[in-house]
Structure 1
Amino acid sequence: MLYKIKSSLFFRLVLLPAIIIFIMAWLVTKQEGYAFIISISTALVGWNNSNILSNLNFIRSETSKNRDSVAQYVDKLFDEMEALFTDRSLKRDKLETILSSRVSILELRLNHIQGRTKMTLLSTEQITALRNNPLDLLDSQEYKTHLLSMRFEYLEAIEQNYSDWIKNKI
């Protein structure tokens, strides 16, 4: 059954367009040699264009998935920080260790995305600030508002950088 589906798909996607182009070229030129060359070259150009468009769409969809996973990770990181800040027995060393490990994982993800797509979702300064700024909030009473504003700042930066990347790709 699978063989029939694959052969039917091959016929519809490969052979049928080539045959149609060959017949049209033969009707125009009345010479089989020219018609064969025209049909093969036209089919190859069409398949090449389809391959290029498919590849671009694949890259965009993968980048979008990666962007979403980074945004979710940042959101989860801020949820975790908020939970940690509610614990008043939290020590600066413990917070620094947790932040350092989580931000390092985030940095690895961002470097992976940048290596594959040449897109920078968060700058190095933003990552450094994410690693250091919450430590300054440890003694603050208004840590919730600061964390909330930082969360939206980072999520907005991710979305903005992704939008800029898409605009430059088009």
Structure 2
Amino acid sequence: MMTLRIASSDDLAILTRLNAIVHDAHVRHRPDLFVSTPSRDSLEALLIRQLSDPDTTFLIAETTPDGNALGYAMARVATRHGNALIAPDSVISLEQIAVDPSASRKGVGSALLDAVRDIGRAAGCRRLVTNVWDFNEGALSFYQASGLRPMSRMLDQGL
């Protein structure tokens, strides 16, 4: 059985391990943008800052009763103030999601995504948004199967 819970600073080791799943893929595909081996101290400092942000929530999926971590998601409530051209908006932004390869295709990612949606609804958000790297076809397929649709594209060119 799987449960979801909100992460705390006591979960740094879990978050660091699960973050490596996503980070390693980013490094493989875009070594020009991602630090190949982030220092443990700097990664933990980053996670502590993110954990202390009141607009950010980390969720951990784990098995019960042993507490084996299967995946995590980091989501942030973001409010955009409107202007003459753009309507005001409040969204839940899925910043990161990672599932342990041993738990892939077992509903962990879907459970985390559903929980992020629930957090957004409770915060009064109108939409869920996320970014997907072009190389990450598995994530893109997962999100599209979960009902998300492309919204914009960011293009890149080295100079």
> How high is the TM-score relative to the length of structure 1?
0.27
Larger radius of gyration: 1
> How high is the TM-score relative to the length of structure 2?
0.29
Structure with the largest fraction of helix: 1
Structure with the largest fraction of strand: 2
